[in-house]
Structure 1
Amino acid sequence: MSHNPLEVICIILSFCSLIVTIFCALVHIIVPKLRRNPGQLVLYNCIIQLVADVNWFWVSIDKNSYFNSLKPKCHILGGIVSACLLLQILYTLYLCIEILILVHKKIATPHTNRIRMYHLTTLIILSIVLGTEISRKEFGDNNQIFCFFEQLSLSEKMFFLVSGVSIIIIWVLSTIILKKLNKKVSNLTKRYLKVTILLTFLITLSALMGVIVMASPNSNIFKQLALFLACPTGLVVGLGRLWSKSLMRELKWKICKRRINLRNTYVISESLLEGSVIKFQEEPMCLAEYFESNNLKTLMKILTSLSLRFSSSQTNYEAYKKYKEYYFEEEDFFREISKINASNLEELYDPNLTVTEYNADIFVKIRESKSIFDSDLQGVFLNNENFVKMRKKRFLDGGKSGSLLFCTYNKKYIIKIITEDEAHVFLDILKIYSNRILNCPESKLVRIYGLFQIKPYKLYILLMENLFENSEKMTIFDLKGSRVNRKTLRGSGKNQSANTSVQKDEDFLNSGIQIAFDSEAEKIIQVLGEDFLLLRGMEMTDYSLIIGIDLSKLDNESARVSDGIVFGIIDFLQKYNIAKKSEKHFKSLFYKTNEISAADPEFYYRRIKEFLNKIFTR
């Protein structure tokens, strides 16, 4: 069968459109972040487009075979094709609405309910149009050169009415979006808009040709033009969505996994201010060096991620009921790291990087209760001062858990890595915890300003207040009321200089330090007692009363101190679970049960309250 030049072009366009559409759908499946709102609407369009592309390719290559083989079933295919064409127009409209929301509000507002509403609206419209077609038996051959509605049927008129109204709304919304475009709108949003406009342009012209054919059935040239304009719609969606260097790099990264060589591990350079913060260690490392280097690399990932989260330019997130998920474009990452005097930080880039912030609204209230706003956290994490601390390996003691703790350069915040179990425990008690510290500002429970998960590294992070901003002047004691393994290797006593490692119960008792009991101390004891009671009610155990004492305020003769003291309660995310019960039973083989740190919540509460009374003198 011979084809005229226009038919040959249609065959090529429809085949290319089919291939590109399949590729685009696969890329959306391979790269999860492409399905973030409104990316899932593009995926829906790709799936719909697959059916349309097969239809256009078959019609283009041999329309006689198409009709002869399908004539008995043309009413079935007509229903499928008409549904796909209508779905394509409707989901393009929904995509345009989502782009307008992104541009107008500059954030990805909660979209789950809107997506459900889109699906419901589509179902209703399809039910009306297809229900009319089925009930009136208006599917079949017509002058549109493919299986569709019967010529000039009610169903065909309804289809073009719905399509026409949708196309007009899309053009109106696109005009509004174009007027609101500015430099702050992300490149991704602009690509979505480009796809929408190009796709709508082709659909508009194709629908216009269809209306002309409906009015003039013998206009063969308009039939060919309608098919010509419909064939490349898949190309427009696929290329418009995927034509991005950063996306191609990400796809290459996803398909061709990087091989990690343990010999090439990050270390901090000694010439920080000379422009080389990070370099590669080419020689084999001992195990201690490897773990130290791994901690530095982990910390750099955390600092970079938190810096991106609180960046003034960060506007991309998806809001859900109990968490917000922030995601970042490649340009966001490189813009942040360009603010510091560093090199090779680009090696930390991961296209799948996301930061999940749990119960953001609650933590905003907690931060604001201490007059801390998001703007105050900009520049706190990723800066040269923090890298100096990292180079000097100034990490805090993470206790027996070995958790990575890092205090920011301004000494206001502590970053702590916790386990997934601890994160779940904290989420379970968050409501009670937040009510306590918001309703009782005097509470000594340490303020936690945020709980984050950094993906794909599966790191759970707490952002906390630093209780001891002047720690260099203080001796700090971590008290549990236990005497088993509660003594540091270093010496203890009132003559111990400040700023040494955190000391424990035995060190405090041996120091002879007594805190003067006065009206202020009485209030502190009462508040601490209430905090301990709250933790007992939540079935927590193994938490610590941490005390910082300014030794310059210590009376050397009596070893009493009345001011310059800071109290706090930390590490209260341990439930009395099987692990704690096993620890208690094992240690009870060697020590007295009442002296073991791990204990049931009731006993632990009584013991730490008794110990609290011992540290005060009347």
Structure 2
Amino acid sequence: MDKLKKTSWEKIISLLQQLYSIGQQIQEYHITLQSSVYTLVSLFHSQFGQFIDREDIIDSIQQLDFETPQLYNMGRNLQSEFAFTFNQKYILKVVSGTQYRYFKNIFHQYYFKIIANKNCLLAKTFGIYKLKDRDNNSYFVLMENLFYEHKVQNSQIISIYDLKGAQSSRITKNFYEQFQQQQLLMQNNAQTIPLLKGKDEDFKKIRFFEDFSIDKKLDLMNQIKQESDILAEANTMDYSLMIITGHINQCLQGKRLFKLNNNVGIIIGIIDYYQEYNSTKKLENKFKTWFGMHKPDQQISCVDSDTYRKRFQIYFQQFLQD
């Protein structure tokens, strides 16, 4: 995947501002803007335009934050692949050409799902773009930032869980000790609480949903099932359910925002749904199961979309249907 340089991000800002400054009467599916060096292609521009606030996006992308906060790093080097708008409301995420073409092909499945279901857990995508210069092409998407609902309320993020339903390498060193320390600090109303980050094996060690009512658990499980069924139909794998908790001053019950005791809010969303189970992923699966790790499909992350869906659902059933 090509990494975008800072100069390219700056050009993206300029081209996106031009793109969304054009009048609302645009009817074309695909829009192309050209400068002396760069060409920006915006796919499905009119459809995305039906559920975005153009003025808000223009204001938000006036400046990008190139220094990825440690908060968002779940163990991978994300700095060169992400840029946050300065107000933290949107993310520009670099994707590969393969992911770009795949999402282009499944766009209508995604789009009509978003339109039909206001409670959709999928983190919203607001644009798909290709940036061309004299030497190469770069691809990126404009997404909502799931953290933003906490950010606007001046809250403190307490924990982040990135959950795929897999077992292999899905564990954090000394997680439970850190969790217990954090719980003690919260009980003592400490002003500063260290951020806790966990994955699938870590999440099993805590009773995260114990304060959820039976109805709330069932609603969330049904929503997870619906979303993962749609993603499986589109041959998608490697997505995650991200759970974010934080102290908040006010919390409105909503599609992804839940309120627990002591002003702790929870945001839940499905992210990273741009990966098709293609020939490359099939080879990766064979390598990991036969020639390398010798671990069955229920343990490794790279599996076919139907296996991924079933495993994803079974993983959350153990917490939400007890």
Fold-level similarity (TM above 0.5): yes
- Per-residue CA deviations over 1:422-472 (Å, capped at 9, x if unaligned) read 001101111010100111010101100101111215111110001112264
Contact 1:406 1:415 in 2 (8 A): yes
1:548 equivalent to 2:244? Answer: yes
State the distance in 2 between where 1:418 and 1:323 align. Answer: 18
Per the alignment, residue 436 of structure 1 pairs with 113
Counterpart amino acid of 2:16? R
Per the alignment, residue 307 of structure 1 pairs with 14
Q: CA RMSD in A?
A: 3.2
Q: Normalising to structure 1: TM-score of the pair?
A: 0.42
**Aligned pair count?**
284
1:541 Cα deviation from its structure 2 partner: 1.3
State the distance in 2 between where 1:491 and 1:524 align. Answer: 25
State the distance in 2 between where 1:313 and 1:608 align. Answer: 37
Contact 1:494 1:512 in 2 (8 A): no
State the distance in 1 between where 2:116 and 2:201 align. Answer: 35
Go from structure 1 to structure 2 and tell me whether the alpha carbon gap of 1:320 and 1:552 turns closer, same or farther (over 3 Å shift): closer
State the distance in 2 between where 1:571 and 1:490 align. Answer: 26
Specify every segment of 5 or more residues in structure 1 that has no aligned partner in the other structure, as ranges.
1-293, 329-350, 554-559
Per the alignment, residue 18 of structure 1 pairs with none
State the distance in 1 between where 2:196 and 2:106 align. Answer: 30
1:530 equivalent to 2:226? Answer: yes
Per the alignment, residue 141 of structure 2 pairs with 462
State the distance in 2 between where 1:524 and 1:496 align. Answer: 29
Contact 1:476 1:503 in 2 (8 A): yes
State the distance in 1 between where 2:28 and 2:57 align. Answer: 24
1:312 Cα deviation from its structure 2 partner: 8.6
Contact 1:310 1:375 in 2 (8 A): no
Per the alignment, residue 324 of structure 1 pairs with 31
Specify every segment of 5 or more residues in structure 2 that has no aligned partner in the other structure, as ranges.
183-192, 250-258
Go from structure 1 to structure 2 and tell me whether the alpha carbon gap of 1:507 and 1:310 turns closer, same or farther (over 3 Å shift): same
Per the alignment, residue 360 of structure 1 pairs with 45
Per the alignment, residue 406 of structure 1 pairs with 83
Counterpart amino acid of 1:491? F
Counterpart amino acid of 1:571? D
1:321 Cα deviation from its structure 2 partner: 5.6
Greater relative contact order: 1 or 2 (C-alpha under 8 angstroms, separation 6 or more)?
2
1:552 Cα deviation from its structure 2 partner: 8.2
State the distance in 2 between where 1:522 and 1:314 align. Answer: 43
Counterpart amino acid of 1:448? T
Contact 1:307 1:380 in 2 (8 A): no
Go from structure 1 to structure 2 and tell me whether the alpha carbon gap of 1:546 and 1:467 turns closer, same or farther (over 3 Å shift): same
Go from structure 1 to structure 2 and tell me whether the alpha carbon gap of 1:521 and 1:307 turns closer, same or farther (over 3 Å shift): farther
1:550 Cα deviation from its structure 2 partner: 2.8
1:507 equivalent to 2:191? Answer: no
1:375 equivalent to 2:39? Answer: no
State the distance in 2 between where 1:415 and 1:405 align. Answer: 6
- Per-residue CA deviations over 1:555-599 (Å, capped at 9, x if unaligned) read xxxxx9576211111111222222222222222243233211111
Per the alignment, residue 282 of structure 2 pairs with 581
Which stretch shifts more, 471-480 or 446-455? 471-480
Go from structure 1 to structure 2 and tell me whether the alpha carbon gap of 1:501 and 1:322 turns closer, same or farther (over 3 Å shift): farther
State the distance in 1 between where 2:96 and 2:241 align. Answer: 21
Name which of 384, 387, 394 aligns with 2:69: 394
1:551 Cα deviation from its structure 2 partner: 6.7
1:594 equivalent to 2:298? Answer: yes
Contact 1:583 1:598 in 2 (8 A): yes
Contact 1:397 1:502 in 2 (8 A): no
1:411 Cα deviation from its structure 2 partner: 1.8
1:311 Cα deviation from its structure 2 partner: 4.0
State the distance in 1 between where 2:142 and 2:20 align. Answer: 21
Per the alignment, residue 161 of structure 2 pairs with 477
State the distance in 2 between where 1:612 and 1:545 align. Answer: 10
Identity of aligned residues (%): 23
Please tell me whether Structure 1 or Structure 2 has the larger radius of gyration of its CA atoms: 1
State the distance in 1 between where 2:128 and 2:19 align. Answer: 20
Contact 1:303 1:382 in 2 (8 A): no
Contact 1:423 1:460 in 2 (8 A): yes
State the distance in 2 between where 1:513 and 1:309 align. Answer: 40
Counterpart amino acid of 1:464? M
Go from structure 1 to structure 2 and tell me whether the alpha carbon gap of 1:534 and 1:601 turns closer, same or farther (over 3 Å shift): same
1:363 Cα deviation from its structure 2 partner: 0.9
Secondary structure, counterpart of 1:564 in structure 2: strand
Counterpart amino acid of 1:325? T
Counterpart amino acid of 1:323? H
Go from structure 1 to structure 2 and tell me whether the alpha carbon gap of 1:312 and 1:447 turns closer, same or farther (over 3 Å shift): closer
Which is helix-richer, 1 or 2? Answer: 1
Go from structure 1 to structure 2 and tell me whether the alpha carbon gap of 1:490 and 1:408 turns closer, same or farther (over 3 Å shift): farther
